[in-house]
Amino acid sequence: VNQPSRFERLAAIQKVAQIDAFLFTAPSTVRWLSNYFFNFETGPSPFQLLPAALIVQPSLEMHLLIADNEALPAVAPGFEMTIVPYSSYVYEKPLDFTQQFLDTLYGIISRLTIKKTHLGIESGSLPLAVFQFLTRQFPQAKFTDVTREIAFIKAVKDRDEIENIRAACHLCDIGQTALLKHTQAGLTELGLFSLVRLEMESSAGTRIPVMADLVSGTRTATGGGIPTNKVIQTGDLVLCDITPCLNGYWGDSCNTVVVGTANSSQRESFKRINEALHFAIQAVRPGVTAMEIDSLMRKHIGNFPHHGGHGVGTQYHEEPRIVPGNGIELAANMVIALEPGLYNPDFGIRLEHLVLVTETGCEILTKFHHCFELIS
């Protein structure tokens, strides 16, 4: 597909809105345009005002501001990016990272050499402290929020983004395969999750953030939840939704398996949900609306109390949302999760694949098979 790259789409916004430079502060936007991923697994750093800030000029020259106590990323080939570390963690004197960050930011913005700077910003993630500093230093500066525009142009993925999502989907496959291998009566949900996560982290060679539902027995009826000490019993269903983040890009996948033998109602439900998933997959192609895909699944299995799917990228939930009423047309190189589910009072089943919209249909990015009854 000969689509404009995300940098070209960004430049188009810049031109239309007459913006002199963007100041991006949402970690998902910074990752999208740079190759910098701040691992959020242990919360906000006490040595940083912000995980990172990215300044993008009309020339698409970029400056990435990050704390010097973080691992500095390599600049990817083809990126016109300068990495500007600022002094963050120190033990020999009082912490001063906020001022260091602001002073470094000042240095970059003042070099824009535009008297009345017009900055495109993300007002949901720009801290007041940064805004107040900028308005003091550049009293004539103008600020325009571009959050909506960014969300919209993120929906279609570039080739390098798709490769990142493929790698995250490979981790989903490893996790879902580990689920089939390790699920057995007597393990706790946490114990099973630990085995699944270890195989994923071993494949990645490092710790990775993993959002996951892993519930068993009647806990599946609510559709999900965090694993607990509940012991998995023979006859339990185990619902496992694995959403890993690898290098800042997410994968997504869900399977439901039975420990032992399913009853006919469970078997019938699994079959219908699997059909709904594959009807949706077969219907995905450019020009179809998100709501059509959503409705197709609900028609086959009845309504369920969540989205039929969603876009995936540097956030685990992006446009296009596959929900009732969303008239957005699918386009080539969108990446969407499809996840029909059915929840009875005593059990729930959800099945999910992540797919890449192609010129003529879609490619399933998660390669594992939805297998319900385990062969022991």
Residues that bind a copy of itself (CB under 8 A): 26-28, 40-44, 46-47, 49, 91-95, 98, 121, 123-129, 131-132, 143, 145, 188, 190-191, 193-194, 197-198, 201-202, 205-207, 209-211, 226-229, 243, 245, 305-307, 315-318, 321, 323-326
Instruction: Quote the least distance from Cβ 197 to a copy of itself, whole Å.
Output: 7
CB 325 to a copy of itself: min, Å: 6
> By C-beta, is 225 or 361 nearer to a copy of itself?
225
Nearer to a copy of itself, 93 or 115 (CB): 93
Of 121 and 258, nearer to a copy of itself (C-beta) is 121
We find the least distance from the C-beta atom of residue 310 to a copy of itself, in angstroms, to be 9
For a copy of itself, give the closer residue by CB, 183 or 266.
183
CB of 124 to a copy of itself, least distance (A): 5
Residues 249 and 278 sit within 8 Å (Cβ to Cβ) = no
What is the nearest approach in angstroms of a copy of itself to the Cβ of residue 308? 8
Q: Which residues contact 74 (CB under 8 A, 6 or more apart)?
A: 35
Report d(CA 103, CA 91) in Å as an integer.
20
Q: 345: which 2 tokens?
A: 């009072």
The answer to whether the CB of 98 falls within 8 A of the CB of 49 is yes
Long-range contacts of residues 56-63, Cβ cutoff 8 Å, at least 24 apart: 56/10, 56/14, 56/21, 56/22, 56/24, 57/20, 57/21, 57/112, 58/11, 58/14, 58/15, 58/19, 58/20, 58/21, 60/7, 60/10, 60/11, 62/33, 62/34, 63/108
CB-nearer residue toward a copy of itself: 157 or 372? 157
Nearer to a copy of itself, 201 or 292 (CB): 201
Q: Write the burial class of residue 132 (CB in 10 Å: 0-12 exposed, 13-18 middle, 19+ buried).
A: exposed
User: Residue 295: what are its φ and ψ, rounded to 5°?
Assistant: -65, -35
Beta bridge partners of 311: 318, 336
Question: Please, what is the minimum distance in Å from the beta carbon of residue 299 to a copy of itself?
Answer: 16
Of 308, 352, 368, 342, nearest to 237 (Cα)?
A: 342
Cβ proximity to a copy of itself, 107 vs 127, nearer residue: 127
Least Å distance, CB 187 to a copy of itself, is 11
